């Protein structure tokens, strides 16, 4: 295993400003937060892209996942002199009116939105470098966004390397009884073929309800490792070895797809970027605890990558 380790940065925390921002699209307005150090000097900026489902700009879910992962990440980067823009995806939180019906969502739409934000940042004279960083499923959107839009660097944080249908099959294999497992496999086969189905058992509706199937069809067409390999920018992979959703093996496959990428595996870090033991009770509690500090090595690695990546 090849690990790229960064020394902690020794610098005083800068004062931080928050500014509301919005992006006008043909399907409605998206809303976000620009967090930046209080300075008149030019600075780098990072577009932060949240993970799957109704995850908002701060990294929180309405169903009981209040951890403020992206909000805390933005603040700590700003204290290091690095601006960030994080946003509510269309259909989520303040951006919900842009696409109120989830059956109208698609990966392609998310990518177009991310590129719209990147274009806005690129045109802002306050920023001398523009990066894109995605967490979990957001890493895929970041890769696809950077394929055709010029960025100064791309960061995958807890990003999968495999097509998501493969991840789902693996997760469901040890959670479902045989009858439901067989049915889930049939549904997945249908969606991979681009065919929605109404034949969804009640127990599987949270995953495969008809309204989310168009999005899943667009998602299952994607190959995260291939997308990451095609992103035309310096790359950083960050993965925790206590992540119960994405394995270190995924980070190694991303590294194989992009041998020039830097790889940081953080000991003890889980999926919500906290240092948490491999105990299921502690893991689940961390998903709903915004007071837990982020892993220090995460901030160090991101800061070093952004500061030392040439334009």
User: Residue 12's pLDDT is what?
Assistant: 64
Strands 43-49, 83-87: parallel, antiparallel or unpaired by DSSP? parallel
Q: Quote the pLDDT of residue 147.
A: 81
Per-residue pLDDT, 1: 36
pLDDT at 11 (0 to 100): 54
CATH of domain 16-162+223-308: 3.40.50.1820
Consecutive 10-residue averages of pLDDT for the chain (311 residues):
41 84 97 96 98 96 91 97 98 97 97 97 97 98 91 97 94 92 96 96 95 97 97 96 96 98 98 96 96 97 94 68
Q: What pLDDT is recorded for position 197?
A: 96
Instruction: Please list the residue range(s) of the chain that carry CATH number 3.40.50.1820.
Output: 16-162+223-308
Predicted pLDDT at 174: 87
Distance CA 188, CA 190 (A): 5
* Per-residue pLDDT tens over the stretch 287-301: 999 999 999 999 999
Q: What is the dihedral of CA 179, 180, 181, 183, to 10 degrees?
A: 90
Q: Which two tokens stand for residue 237?
A: 């992979």
Angle at 34 between CA 235 and CA 110, to 5 degrees: 60
pTM comes to: 0.93
pLDDT tens digit string along 37-94?
A: 999 999 999 999 999 999 999 999 987 789 999 999 999 999 999 999 999 999 999 9
Strands in 16-25's sheet, in edge-to-edge order, are 16-25, 28-37, 83-87, 43-49, 127-135, 153-157, 235-240, 262-266
Q: What is the mean pLDDT of the chain?
A: 94
Smallest Cα–Cα separation from 16: which of 91, 79, 62? 79
């Amino acid at each position: 295993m090849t690990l790229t380790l960064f020394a902690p940065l020794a610098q005083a925390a800068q004062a931080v400003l928050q500014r509301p921002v919005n992006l006008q699209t043909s399907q409605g307005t998206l809303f976000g937060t620009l967090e930046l150090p209080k300075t008149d000097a030019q600075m780098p900026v990072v577009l932060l892209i949240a993970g799957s489902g109704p995850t908002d700009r701060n990294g929180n879910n309405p169903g009981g996942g209040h951890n403020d992962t992206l909000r805390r990440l933005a603040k700590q980067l700003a204290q290091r002199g690095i601006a960030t823009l994080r946003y509510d995806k269309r259909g989520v939180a303040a951006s919900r009116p842009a696409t109120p019906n989830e059956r109208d969502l698609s990966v392609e739409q998310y990518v177009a939105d991310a590129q719209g934000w990147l274009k806005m940042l690129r045109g802002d004279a306050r920023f001398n470098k523009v990066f894109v960083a995605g967490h979990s499923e957001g890493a895929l959107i970041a890769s696809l966004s950077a394929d055709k839009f010029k960025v100064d660097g791309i960061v995958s944080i807890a990003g999968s390397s495999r097509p998501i249908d493969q991840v789902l099959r693996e997760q469901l294999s040890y959670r479902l009884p045989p009858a439901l497992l067989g049915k889930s496999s049939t549904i997945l086969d249908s969606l991979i073929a681009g065919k929605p189905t109404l034949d969804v058992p009640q127990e599987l509706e949270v995953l495969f309800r008809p309204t989310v199937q168009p999005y899943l069809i667009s998602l299952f067409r994607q190959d995260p490792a291939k997308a990451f390999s095609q992103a035309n920018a310096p790359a950083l992979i960050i993965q925790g070895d206590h992540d119960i959703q994405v394995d270190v093996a995924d980070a190694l496959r991303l590294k194989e797809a992009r041998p020039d990428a830097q790889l940081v595996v953080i000991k003890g870090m889980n999926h919500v970027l906290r240092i948490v033991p491999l105990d299921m009770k502690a893991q689940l509690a961390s998903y709903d605890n915004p007071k837990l500090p982020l892993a220090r090595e995460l901030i160090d690695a991101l800061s070093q990558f952004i500061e030392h990546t040439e334009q």
